[in-house]
Structure 1
Amino acid sequence: MGPGELLEVLLAGGRRADRATHVRELPARPGVRADWPAWADADLVRGYRALGVERPWEHQVDAAEAAWSGRHTVLATSTGSGKSLAFWLPAVSAVRRGAVGALLDPGRIESATRRPTVLYLGPTKALAADQLAGLERLLAAAGTRDVRVATCDGDTSRDERRWVREHADVVLTNPDFLHFALLPAHTSWSRVLSSLAFVVVDECHAFRGVFGAHVALVLRRLRRLAAAYDAAPVVVLASATTSDPAASAARLLGVEPGDVHAVTADTSPAGRRTVVLWQPPELPSGDGPWASLLPDEDPWSTVITVPASDGAARALAGADDSGTQDAAGATDGAGAPAGPAPVAEGSGPVGTGERLVAVPRDRPRRTATAEVADLLADLVAAGARVLAFTRSRRGAESVAATTRAHLAEVDPTLPSLVSSYRGGYLPEERRALERAIRAGHLRALATTNALELGVDISGLDAVLIAGWPGTRVSLWQQAGRAGRAGADGLVVLVSREDPLDTYLVHHPEAALDVPVEATVFDPGNPYVLAPHLCAAAAERPLRADELDLFGPRAPELLAELTARGILRRRSSGWYWTHAEPASRMTDLRGAGGDPVRVVETATGRLLGTVDAASADATVHPGAVYVHLGTTYVVDELHLQDGVALATRRAVDHGTWARWVTSTTVVDVEREVAWGPLTWSYGQVDVTTQVIGYQRRRLPDLQVLSTHDLDLPARTLRTTAVWWTTPPEVLAEAGVTLEVAPGALHAAEHASIGLLPLLATCDRWDLGGLSTLQHPDTGQATVFVHDGHPGGAGFAERGFELGPVWLTATRDAIAACPCATGCPACVQSPKCGNGNEPLDKAGALRLLSTVLRHAADAPTPDDPAAR
């Protein structure tokens, strides 16, 4: 069935037509073939042909030729465009050519050469395992037995690691293993490093924010050690379509952008793709005891219609890589300092004197997960192969279970064709699910973004996306799973009951017409760079002539580390002199501890794992834990041992944790008075504690009972910038007590969205809080804090550029042509309060008033400010 027929299935003969807010046809694209390069290994080419690749696509050859000629190369094309061929063709050809050369005259010692080696780095273990399976299929089809390929990561046994070190030609791993195991023990890996010909960095767009900065420095350490073993590997990077991939790749490697060959023209065929924006229906109006007391019309609510404007799309474009402002604003749609003049906000009820817009709240709508389960059931019943992306592990399990229940009513053989897929499953379970969906034994998977990256699953008819995935890069990565290999496909984005999602499904230009975001990270961030300098010194004394590799901030950081006794300076370089491994000073992903294992109480069988940070909320005593459709109830949680014990039990309810979060000022390191306001920077504790949970009946979510929990609080010590506003400033801005929470909240969101333009970070690296009266300041306060232990320098940068930052924030809100707030200005894709309350007009007035007071204040570096 084509996408048109599948869409008719979803529209149900017109009964659901009103839910499709926008339908767009993306035209098909023909493929452009090229000849196999002359240098390509003949057996390898024969293997590709046996697998159905008679001739490669032009962009594959472009990238492979550049890599073979010795140029670092980044290939940034769409999902399913065959990026793997572009890096395996030159890499494996080099291995095979080197293996033949080493055997030309085995009787003469002077003719001995080392076999080239290849190191593959992916962001996840699942991706490395998938690439291993694909490479083994290729080598089997080619009939070659002389290329030794293996994965090596934290799950690899000691004996297997020894074999990999001594024999493997191609090693597939991840940056974490490189950081914690391979580089610190580089002498044991000298065979691999001294012969390193190619390094493949797959899905490199996933390396963003602080994680991206860490990975960039791990790659610099790798290149440094390879050079010490007389190797100069060519790096080939594969990426989703991103803004300026050459600059991002160069920053990741520590080279100039001109040293990276970028391939961005996608010459693979693409089928016609139908993209549908979908809003679930309103639920029937309430009939509770208070419903009859509500007026038919709310005189305080009026709808202001804003004329369509090209500026709406421009206001949603992203920032460029360099952190300079383009015409549109922040990397995640936070707004635009430049753009059309503000649209008049209209007038409120007569006599109030307020210039505001009050939009009546819709009745509650059906949840996105419930809607997606219905749509998925219909598509599976029609014979389609589908992926349904959800925002959470709970969502994936819920969609799969509800879909199976719907299908059981139609045909008892259909439920077995649907399963869930998410992080936390055992590796063998994930591999089995991947094989089943590829082979057609499964028709559908409800998944988290674990399948967003390059795991090879082709032949899908449709993709359902439950809720805005957060970035346009993710949207198109997920959408690219539909109609791969030139086939037609259907993509449906189903909105959650969230103002951001609601805005996007009614403003298709904001979701579909705006360029994808840049990959933003800063390897020079001193909070990230310092521990990697220590790790580099521990691996091999760090020499002065190597410092350029680590950027211009390296010398001053080394001087500080030496002064603090962390490193020791000698004429030959900087040395690590401590007994403990320097690599333990930092965690690339900031995971906050080892995962918690979920174990079946009766059998001791390992069911899966949960991230340490989310264990309190998901596997607390009494929690319902769903694993591949089977429900378990957690009996005990032992945090110190990292184990949750659970018993299999059929239940008709789910559990929802309740928690409280607070931000406490620990130390005010710097402070500036802006008239009656204060602008501050210092250390804060962001504390979260799970205090209880609710049991809710499924599927109507009626609360059955509420239970208290006694779990320890989790505290993140980090750095923050904050500003306080006394009551007289709120009054001066015309922000009443009723409006103030929404105005402060909107200002917080917008400022978080704009900070990545000034501090090279990602919106997901930041957090915030706004409150009408904070206990530590006694006044209305807006906090923006780094989301990483100890801070990452972003809040400090915001403090130093306070008026510039807040001016850009105010201008972004003013330039946005929306009426009451949208993703381009004050809505956030990661708001824990569902983007409520928000008051765009109040935030604009408040920021304008704050900036008037800041205009005559001394700068943070002015002696008068200290």
Structure 2
Amino acid sequence: MYFRKNIQEVIDIVKYKPEYSKNIVHWHTIDASPAKTAELPASIDIRLRVALQKRGIHQLYTHQRSAYEITRDAKNFVAVTPTASGKTLCYNLPVLQTIVENPQARALYLFPTKALAQDQKSELNEIIEEMGVTINSYTYDGDTPANIRQKVRKAGHIVITNPDMLHSAVLPHHTKWVSLFENLKYIVIDELHTYRGVFGSHVANVIRRLKRICEFYGSSPVFMCTSATIANPKELAEELTSTKMELIDNNGAPTGKKHFVFYNPPIVNKPLNIRRSATLEVRKLASEFLTNKIQTIVFARSRVRVEIILTYLQELVKHKLGPKAIRGYRGGYLPKQRREIEHGLRNGDIYGVISTNALELGVDIGQLQVCIMTGYPGTIASAWQQAGRAGRRQGEAVIFMVASSNPLDQYMIQNPDYFFSRNPETARINSNNLVILIDHIKCAAYELPFKAGDTFGELELEDILEFLTEERILHQNGDKWYWMNDSFPAHNISLRSASQENVVIIDQTDIASVKVIGEMDRFSALTLLHEEAIYLHQGVQYQVEKLDWEEKKAFVREVDVDYFTDANLAVQLKVLEVDKERSKGSIEIGYGDVSVQAMATIFKKIKFETHENIGSGPIHLPEEELHTSSAWISLNKNELEGISEKSIEEGLIGVANVLKHVAPLLTMCDPSDLHVVPQVKAAHNELPTIFLYDRYPGGVGLSEKVYEVMEKLLAESEEIIKKCACESGCPSCIGTDVLHEQAKVDALTLVSKLKQGVTLKN
């Protein structure tokens, strides 16, 4: 007979059963806190007041009341409060009140994902229905049927969309949206912290285009932004919108009791300090909760990892919970599949979901009680967002962070005070990145001609407009510049990936029913969609039979194998121009433009369960070239007297491995946004050098931040290598590319010399 346990019983199993308890490094309990409230404003319409009361809202949290008052004064705000603190009402309340007062008023809501947009629409429509008034709220995205689009454009009081759709389907066709732009009172930007790096830099330019069109139609909307906790919300909001902001951070929402557990898998090879795979430990923990029917979300850092964990768990619990009770969720799934999964979580049909950070955002996915992170997500802000997926309705929740062997995970797991006491990171964008900027100026010129004296945000444009005229992209007539090309610029510009084009994945298992099952950006496709790669989708294995690089199509067929694949990328890098340089004694730190050539070389077949290498093969794909910005640090030869070239090389590889994991911590970026390349003899100065470069044409400011914080970066790296318990190097410090037994000593020698030089210099 199967009995369901409550969450406290399962927490106790994990806390006291030796196979789990011996791996718990730190158990941090955050007590519940009461709400801080304020009265509903007197100006709120009675119908809206009644609708709120029907939903159990008789008072506002303090931050919600502040947001209402600020917008009534026609000021812009950015609200920064934890997950599940009722940020949605910060913007819904002023928007609904304004539309009730003036039925011509319009609002535009921007969400970073379709899932979030769909979720917010449901909540908004419930309030509108309870008000009993005619307010049309519509989502406008790639899934909106053609026959409804005209209605949205003409009659939508609240249009809910995403930046990609605004960029490619709304702004270029603004003449079809006259009633929206003439009456636009509010622009809502939700999940502001996601607009960082490449994506944020693009979106800042989309907002510049949006403001330009609003001005053309005579509207001056108020911006309402909401964000998870980051160190610089006001600065980011102002940079993203080119608008002055008021900061709201007086959170009044209550919180439920949360247990935050730092969990370090056991060591399986003491000399090499290699730990049991985090993936296998996550499987064990998740199955403990899932087999007791406790709703659980597991986060993994990559699409491949999501599918591996999903495969393990589905096999483990299908006899107890049924085959559909555990699902995967990530980018690349088709919309209908994603909606179905969200619905299943809300109504309780689905007990477990394995996700990339796609579900990190505020989608209401019901009363999840457990969150398990496979490794540290890369930023403190992301970790808190993922933790916030559990216990959203004031219930008790438990969050596990299961460390992998990588240096950043080990640093975090062994320094819980750093995690709990440190302010979250600074989000950085570079809206004036020339590659991104020129793309959006082309789009803006297509939308409306530029005239002499026009600015784009704060930027003066004359030089760029003259350049585009010389390139025969714009045509100058008097003091105006017009778009003169037949092509439609927005279609060729992706806001989300460093690559301009995605590779479409086509399933040809059934020749009679060939279908598209997903897509992937070009740079990722080099290592994940090469021929013979195993591509995992919803727990199903597919082998890539053919990758048509020219046509951007990958043809896959369903297979049943006991391994997955992993590919190597060979990188060559050379400095094109030095923009900043500082040196002291024997250390040189630089920042400037570089050219990077990347080529996928070989792939390995890795067996499920044991994760051993069972074979390999070559990859035949063309080289991809990237012009970007990079920071670097070099050490002069006189510091290395008596150290062999082999030791210098091993030391550089070791230090580079640590830097690769620590740098994203200080720059608040995804580890894949910033790449690290060691060179024993760099071409530009012939010195041993480590480069850290932005993986995007022109760079988005990440490596510039690295240049600024190089001292801190090296100090943290030295600390990780020193504290590591291994004898001669391991995956938790200098990596496993390093083989000889002096490697750890070499890396420590090198990092201390680099650090000493930087300290002297400053």
The TM-score normalised by the length of structure 2 is 0.87
* Cα shift at 1:840: 4.3
Match of 1:659 among 565, 568, 572: 568
User: Do residues 236 (structure 1) and 224 (structure 2) align?
Assistant: yes
Cα distance in 1 between the residues matched to 2:414 and 2:669: 29
SS at match of 1:738: helix
SS at match of 2:95: helix
* Cα shift at 1:281: 1.5
Match of 1:57 among 48, 55, 61: 61
* Cα shift at 1:721: 5.3
User: Do residues 283 (structure 1) and 283 (structure 2) align?
Assistant: no
User: Do residues 184 (structure 1) and 172 (structure 2) align?
Assistant: yes
* Correspondence 1:189-228 to 2 at 5 A: 189-228=177-216
* Cα shift at 1:36: 2.7
Count of paired positions: 743
SS at match of 1:505: helix
* Cα shift at 1:49: 3.5
Cα distance in 1 between the residues matched to 2:201 and 2:117: 21
User: Do residues 247 (structure 1) and 155 (structure 2) align?
Assistant: no
User: Do residues 66 (structure 1) and 70 (structure 2) align?
Assistant: yes
Q: Does the Cα contact within 8 Å between 2:602 and 2:618 map onto a contact in 1?
A: yes
Label 1:719 to 1:240 Cα distance change in 2 as closer, same or farther (>3 A). closer
* Correspondence 1:580-599 to 2 at 5 A: 580-583=487-490, 586-592=493-499, 593-599=501-507
* Correspondence 1:561-640 to 2 at 5 A: 567=474, 572-583=479-490, 586-592=493-499, 593-602=501-510, 603-640=513-550
Cα distance in 2 between the residues matched to 1:677 and 1:26: 45
- Give the corresponding residue for 2:556: 646
- Give the corresponding residue for 1:470: 378
* Correspondence 1:327-338 to 2 at 5 A: none
* Cα shift at 1:365: 1.6
Letter in 1 for 2:177: W
* Cα shift at 1:697: 3.1
Cα distance in 2 between the residues matched to 1:818 and 1:62: 43
* Correspondence 1:115-514 to 2 at 5 A: 115-144=104-133, 146-256=134-244, 260-283=245-268, 361-362=272-273, 364-408=274-318, 412-413=320-321, 416-514=324-422
User: Do residues 533 (structure 1) and 434 (structure 2) align?
Assistant: no
User: Do residues 94 (structure 1) and 98 (structure 2) align?
Assistant: yes
* Cα shift at 1:396: 1.6
- Give structure 2 stretches of 5+ with no counterpart: none
Cα distance in 1 between the residues matched to 2:70 and 2:247: 9
SS at match of 1:118: strand
Q: Does the Cα contact within 8 Å between 1:498 and 1:835 map onto a contact in 2?
A: no
Cα distance in 2 between the residues matched to 1:413 and 1:669: 60
- Give the corresponding residue for 1:75: 79
Cα distance in 2 between the residues matched to 1:44 and 1:673: 61
Letter in 2 for 1:222: L
* Cα shift at 1:715: 2.8
* Cα shift at 1:183: 1.5
Label 1:601 to 1:636 Cα distance change in 2 as closer, same or farther (>3 A). farther
User: Do residues 809 (structure 1) and 695 (structure 2) align?
Assistant: no
- Give the corresponding residue for 2:42: 38
* Cα shift at 1:527: 4.3
The Cα offsets for residues 725-754 of structure 1, whole Å up to 9 and x where unpaired, read as 56444328x687425533465379659977
The Cα offsets for residues 62-110 of structure 1, whole Å up to 9 and x where unpaired, read as 21232233221211111111111221122133223323xxxxxxxxxxx
Q: Which structure is richer in relative contact order (CA contacts within 8 A, separation 6 or more)?
A: 1
Q: Does the Cα contact within 8 Å between 1:220 and 1:550 map onto a contact in 2?
A: yes
Cα distance in 2 between the residues matched to 1:751 and 1:570: 50
* Cα shift at 1:196: 0.8
Q: Does the Cα contact within 8 Å between 1:678 and 1:723 map onto a contact in 2?
A: yes
* Cα shift at 1:632: 3.0
The Cα offsets for residues 548-570 of structure 1, whole Å up to 9 and x where unpaired, read as x6125656655665677665666
Q: Does the Cα contact within 8 Å between 2:40 and 2:58 map onto a contact in 1?
A: no
Match of 2:597 among 681, 687, 692: 687
Letter in 2 for 1:122: F
SS at match of 2:173: coil
Letter in 2 for 1:129: Q
Letter in 2 for 1:624: I
* Cα shift at 1:462: 1.2
The Cα offsets for residues 12-33 of structure 1, whole Å up to 9 and x where unpaired, read as 5333211000001111111133
The Cα offsets for residues 354-408 of structure 1, whole Å up to 9 and x where unpaired, read as xxxxxx532x221111111111110112231111111111222222221233335
* Cα shift at 1:667: 4.5
The Cα offsets for residues 235-266 of structure 1, whole Å up to 9 and x where unpaired, read as 1111112224222212221123xxx2222122
SS at match of 2:176: coil
Letter in 2 for 1:522: N
Cα distance in 2 between the residues matched to 1:747 and 1:573: 51
Q: Percent identity?
A: 29
Cα distance in 1 between the residues matched to 2:445 and 2:732: 38
Label 1:9 to 1:813 Cα distance change in 2 as closer, same or farther (>3 A). same
Cα distance in 1 between the residues matched to 2:506 and 2:252: 46
Label 1:560 to 1:162 Cα distance change in 2 as closer, same or farther (>3 A). same
Label 1:579 to 1:669 Cα distance change in 2 as closer, same or farther (>3 A). farther
Cα distance in 2 between the residues matched to 1:811 and 1:38: 52
Cα distance in 1 between the residues matched to 2:721 and 2:267: 21
- Give the corresponding residue for 1:328: none
Letter in 1 for 2:280: A
Cα distance in 2 between the residues matched to 1:672 and 1:261: 37
Name whichever structure is richer in strand by fraction.
2
Cα distance in 1 between the residues matched to 2:660 and 2:600: 28
Label 1:28 to 1:545 Cα distance change in 2 as closer, same or farther (>3 A). farther
* Cα shift at 1:546: 4.6
Letter in 2 for 1:697: K
The TM-score normalised by the length of structure 1 is 0.77
Q: Highest Rg: 1 or 2?
A: 1
Aligned-CA RMSD value: 3.7
Label 1:564 to 1:591 Cα distance change in 2 as closer, same or farther (>3 A). closer
* Cα shift at 1:467: 0.2
Letter in 2 for 1:444: G
Q: Does the Cα contact within 8 Å between 1:524 and 1:553 map onto a contact in 2?
A: no
* Cα shift at 1:680: 7.2
SS at match of 2:247: strand
Label 1:793 to 1:430 Cα distance change in 2 as closer, same or farther (>3 A). closer
Letter in 1 for 2:392: R
Cα distance in 2 between the residues matched to 1:274 and 1:121: 33
Letter in 2 for 1:233: P
Q: Does the Cα contact within 8 Å between 2:587 and 2:754 map onto a contact in 1?
A: no
Cα distance in 1 between the residues matched to 2:289 and 2:184: 48
Which segment drifts farther, 608-617 or 497-506? 608-617
